[in-house]
């Protein structure tokens, strides 16, 4: 858990220290003997055919840990999962990145990795939605699709022979992200799950938890907006002033939605600062708790709500431990 630089009063400081101590006790009880440090022996009960995975090594006939973390087992495979680690891309990861360069037939994206990622024009779903061979005209029009500093959602395609990381965006759910906020958190706080796209209907907000630690919180946009534009073009009776007015409405985010975006974004910032794993459930619960307690959006990052969030997390983990028993 990170050190928080907060102006706490005496009561808040005592409450926070007590809650943090409870969290440490609960974490140690849950981890038990599965947590190891460097050079600790990993018990394998003299099993045959044990496969030594990441973070393990053999020394004098015993399996020892070469990392600090938690011992994980998958059938015969034994490995150590580091509690805090940098982002390591895997094929199929949903990531959020920012365009930093437009090169011939490709965009270069910053994705919070040791090297930039590449999104090829051939791996991109064109705006017209037609599957066809990319032409020289498409290459000339690349800047109309993405330009520098645009935020893009894509999927990890894999590493090429030259060591570069390639992305793909061959679906309507991928592409340019607008009308929202991009947040950066440690990548180890975002676990790989089946679903990383979340539509929060009660807030009319889209939440994308990128495996690389980039999180997008923005207004929910229907994928059928292109069809609406096509239908509007087919209506000759629509005046130019009406079309301009409708376009302005499409690019305008209502005040209530903007407030929801800020509340969800502050919930993400708060949980990340506390070092809690980021899930859609924890983020929504934190946002709802702030709203039910009449906490202003700007006060969500204040000391009192920090302490309340830690205390709620203690109660949640106590209930989980009781259910397991």
Picking from 94, 89, 43, 87, the residue whose alpha carbon sits closest to that of residue 65 is: 43
40 found inside a domain = yes
- At 271-302, the pLDDT tens digits run 999 989 999 999 999 999 999 999 999 999 98
215 and 282 fall within a common domain: yes
Phi-psi region of 255 (alpha: psi -120 to 50; beta: other; left: phi over 0): alpha
The helix-helix angle for 303-324 and 255-274 (nearest 10°) equals: 70
226 found inside a domain = no
Q: Please give the span between the terminal C-alpha atoms of the chain, in angstroms, as a whole number.
A: 27
Q: Which domain holds residue 322?
A: 179-221+253-325
324 and 199 fall within a common domain: yes
More confident call, 146 vs 171: 146
- At 80-99, the pLDDT tens digits run 888 777 888 999 999 999 99
198 and 324 fall within a common domain: yes
285 found inside a domain = yes
The encoded tokens of residue 174 equal 């991928």
Q: Where does the pLDDT of residue 42 fall: very low under 50, low under 70, confident under 90, or very high at 90 and above?
A: confident
Identify the burial level of 39 via C-beta atoms within 10 angstroms of its C-beta, where 0-12 means exposed, 13-18 middle and 19 or more buried. exposed
Q: Where does the pLDDT of residue 32 fall: very low under 50, low under 70, confident under 90, or very high at 90 and above?
A: low
Last residue within a domain, chosen from 83, 110, 125 = 83
194 and 281 fall within a common domain: yes
For the segment 202-207, the average pLDDT, to the nearest whole number, is 94
25 found inside a domain = no
Q: Do the Cβ atoms of 181 and 217 come closer than 8 Å?
A: yes
Mean pLDDT of the chain: 84
191 and 111 fall within a common domain: no
Last residue within a domain, chosen from 66, 83, 100 = 83
| Tally of domains in the chain | 3
Last residue within a domain, chosen from 177, 205, 240 = 177
- At 237-282, the pLDDT tens digits run 445 455 454 455 567 889 999 999 999 999 999 999 998 999 999 9
């Amino acid at each position: 858990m990170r050190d928080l630089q907060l102006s706490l009063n005496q009561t808040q400081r005592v409450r926070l220290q007590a809650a943090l101590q409870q969290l440490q006790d609960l974490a140690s009880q849950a981890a038990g003997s599965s947590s190891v440090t460097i050079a600790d022996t990993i018990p394998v009960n003299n099993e045959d055919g044990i496969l030594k995975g990441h973070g393990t090594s053999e020394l004098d006939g015993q399996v020892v840990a070469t990392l600090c973390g938690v011992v994980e087992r998958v059938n015969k495979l034994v490995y150590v999962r580091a509690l805090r680690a940098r982002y390591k891309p895997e094929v199929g990861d949903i990531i959020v990145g920012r365009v930093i360069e437009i090169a011939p037939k490709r965009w270069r994206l910053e994705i919070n990795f040791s090297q930039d990622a590449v999104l090829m024009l051939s791996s991109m779903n064109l705006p017209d939605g037609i599957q066809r061979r990319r032409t020289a005209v498409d290459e000339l029009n690349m800047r109309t699709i993405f330009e520098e500093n645009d935020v893009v959602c894509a999927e990890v395609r894999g590493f090429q022979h030259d060591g570069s990381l390639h992305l793909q965006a061959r679906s309507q759910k991928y592409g340019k992200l607008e009308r929202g906020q991009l947040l950066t958190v440690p990548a180890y706080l975002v676990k790989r799950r089946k679903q990383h796209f979340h539509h929060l209907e009660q807030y009319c907000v889209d939440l994308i938890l990128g495996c690389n630690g980039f999180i997008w919180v923005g207004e929910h946009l229907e994928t059928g907006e292109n069809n609406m534009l096509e239908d509007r073009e087919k209506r000759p009776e629509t005046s130019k002033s009406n079309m301009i007015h409708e376009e302005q409405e499409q690019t305008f985010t209502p005040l209530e939605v903007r407030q929801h975006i800020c509340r969800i974004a502050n919930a993400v910032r708060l949980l990340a600062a506390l070092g809690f794993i980021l899930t859609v459930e924890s983020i929504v619960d934190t946002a709802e708790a702030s709203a039910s307690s009449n906490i202003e959006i700007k006060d969500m990052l204040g000391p009192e709500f920090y302490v309340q969030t830690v205390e709620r997390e203690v109660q949640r983990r106590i209930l989980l431990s009781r259910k397991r028993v």
